[in-house]
Amino acid sequence: MSLSLPNIDKIVFREFPAFTHPFLKYVFENKKFLGRKKANFLLNRMEMKTGRSKIVSYPYYLVIDPSNICNLKCPLCPTWQDLKARPKGMMDMETFRKLFEEVGPYVFAINLCNWGEPLLNPDICGIIKFAKSFNTVVGLSTNLNSLTDDKAQEIVASGIDILVVSLDGDSQESYAKYRVGGDFGKVMDNLKKLISLRKDGKHPLLVWQFLVNRHNESEIEKAKERAGQLGMLFMPSPMRTSMGKELLLPLYERVKDVEEWLPLNPRYNRYNYTIGPETRTRQITCNWLWKAMVINWDGSVSPCCGVFEKKWDFDACYSAEGKNLTIREVWNSPRYQLARKLVSAHMKKSKHLRPLLKLAKEEGLICAQCIKYGFLEE
C-alpha cells in the first residue's frame, strides 16, 4: 500500500531535528524534485531495514565540509592539533557542483560544516545557492568570528535556512576558555549584522549553540535570556569527549581524558561518571552507512562525521586524488559494502560477524572500532 503525502511528511520529519521542520515543510510544498526525494527516501528506509550492503538509493542527508581550516583552536578539536591527519584545503565550486548535480535531487537536507570554519571558504555563498536550487534544506555551523558587512549580506541573500552559531558562554572569559582565539564581542556584533538583514526577521533561523562545560555552565540562563532578546533559538548541548578520538578509544578512557571539561550539573552531562572500563556507548547501531554521506573538502568520503583521519576514508569522488568516481560508485564501493555487512551482521547477531570483523580489521575499517566500543553517539 502506498503512503499518502502526510504520512511521508511525518516519517521524513522524524529523521531530522524539530527546528528543521518548517524548512522541510517548504520542501514538500515547493515540490521541485519531490517525487524523486520521496521515492529515494522510502527505498533507502527499506534497504536500511533489510541491511542491504549494495544499495540502489542515494543518501537523503549530506554532510559536506567546505573547509577543514579553522581560525580558532578549541582544546578538544583535532583540526588545529593534528595537521598531518588530513590535508588542509577548501572545496571549490566546480567540485561541489559535480557532487550536487548527481545527488541533489534525492537529498532532503545538507549540513555545510564538519571539521573547519565554512565561512572562510570564498565560494560558500555560491555553494549555498546551488544547493538551494535543488529544493534542499541548507544549514551550517559557524564560530562567526569572521564576517564582513558584504559577506553578511551575501549569506542572507544566498537563501540559507539555518545558521548555527557556536557560542559557548555569555562573557568573553567563559567563551574563550573553549573557543580559544575567539572574540565574544565580535561574534555579538556579527550576529547583529545578520539579524538586521534577516528576511521578515525570521530567515535564516539563527541558532545559539551553547556547548555546556564546567567553565560556562553558570551562564546558561544568562545566555538563554540574551538569545531570546536577539530572536535566536537557544540550544544548550552537553559537552562531548575529544573529537577525533570518539571512535578510537573506549568510552571510559575518553571520559577520563576530558573530566575537567565536563559540567557538574547532571542535566547537562552527557556521560555517567561511574562508568567502568567495559562500558559501551548508548548508541546501539549505525545508520550513517545507509542514510547519510560525509564528504570532505577534496571529495574524499568518510564513514561518518566522527572520522577525522584520512586513512579511514572509504574512497574519493570527482577527481579527488586523481580519481573520477561518481557518488554512486563510492556509495557502493567495496569498503562501504563491507562496512554495511559488518554492522548488519552485528545487529542480527549473525554467525558471519566474526569473519567479517576479522576482514574489516585487515582492511583498516574504522567501523570495527564501533563494534568493539559502541557506535558514535548522536
Query: What is the three-class DSSP state of 176?
Result: helix
Q: Cell numbers for 256, please give them.
A: 577520563
pLDDT per residue over 261-312, tens digit each? 989 888 888 887 778 888 888 888 898 999 999 999 999 999 998 898 999 9
31-35, 318-322, 335-339: range with lowest mean pLDDT: 318-322
The residues, any chain, with a CB within 8 Å of residue 322's CB and separated by 6 or more, are none
Instruction: Quickly count: other Cβ atoms within 10 Å of residue 238's Cβ.
Output: 16
Distance CA 195, CA 331 (A): 39
C-alpha distances (whole Å) from 167 to each of 130, 145, 203, 273, 326 are: 28, 10, 20, 26, 37
The residues, any chain, with a CB within 8 Å of residue 205's CB and separated by 6 or more, are 19, 22, 23, 161, 162, 163, 233
Closest CA to 104 of 154, 33, 175: 33
Q: Partners of 138 in the beta sheet?
A: 110
**What is the crossing angle of helices 149-157 and 124-132, to 10°?**
10
Instruction: Quickly count: other Cβ atoms within 10 Å of residue 311's Cβ.
Output: 9
Q: Supply the DSSP symbol for 142.
A: E
17-26, 246-255, 341-350: range with lowest mean pLDDT: 246-255
Closest CA to 255 of 236, 230, 274: 274
Q: Partners of 293 in the beta sheet?
A: 62
Closest CA to 125 of 91, 151, 161, 164: 151
Confidence of residue 248 (pLDDT cuts 50, 70, 90): confident
**Residue 73 pLDDT:** 94
Confidence of residue 320 (pLDDT cuts 50, 70, 90): low
Quick check: bond before 17 cis, omega within 30?
Answer: no
Query: What is the three-class DSSP state of 267?
Result: helix
High-pLDDT (> 70) share of the chain, %: 97
* Cα 368 from chain centroid (whole Å): 21
Q: What sections of the chain are H helices per DSSP?
A: 5-14, 21-30, 34-50, 93-103, 124-132, 149-157, 172-178, 184-197, 220-230, 251-257, 288-291, 327-331, 334-348, 353-362, 367-373
The residues, any chain, with a CB within 8 Å of residue 95's CB and separated by 6 or more, are 298, 299, 318, 319, 320
Q: What is the mean pLDDT of the chain?
A: 92
| Residue predicted with more confidence, 340 or 318 | 340
Distance CA 114, CA 64 (A): 7
**pTM beyond 0.85:** yes
> Is the Cβ–Cβ distance between 105 and 37 less than 8 Å?
yes
* Degrees to nearest 5, angle at CA 65 with 106 and 61: 25
pLDDT per residue over 37-88, tens digit each? 999 999 999 999 999 999 999 999 999 999 999 999 999 998 888 778 899 9
Q: Cell numbers for 177, please give them.
A: 576558555
| Residue predicted with more confidence, 241 or 172 | 172
Average pLDDT over residues 362-367: 93
**Residue 150 pLDDT:** 95
Closest CA to 106 of 62, 64, 58, 139: 58
Q: Give me the half-sphere count of Cα atoms (radius 13 Å) on the Cβ side of residue 128.
A: 25
**Residue 3 pLDDT:** 43
Instruction: Quickly count: other Cβ atoms within 10 Å of residue 44's Cβ.
Output: 23
> Is the Cβ–Cβ distance between 365 and 358 less than 8 Å?
no
Residue 8 has pLDDT above 80, yes or no: yes
Instruction: Quickly count: other Cβ atoms within 10 Å of residue 242's Cβ.
Output: 17
> Is the Cβ–Cβ distance between 375 and 284 less than 8 Å?
yes
Query: What is the three-class DSSP state of 113?
Result: coil
Q: Supply the DSSP symbol for 240.
A: P
Q: Supply the DSSP symbol for 202.
A: T
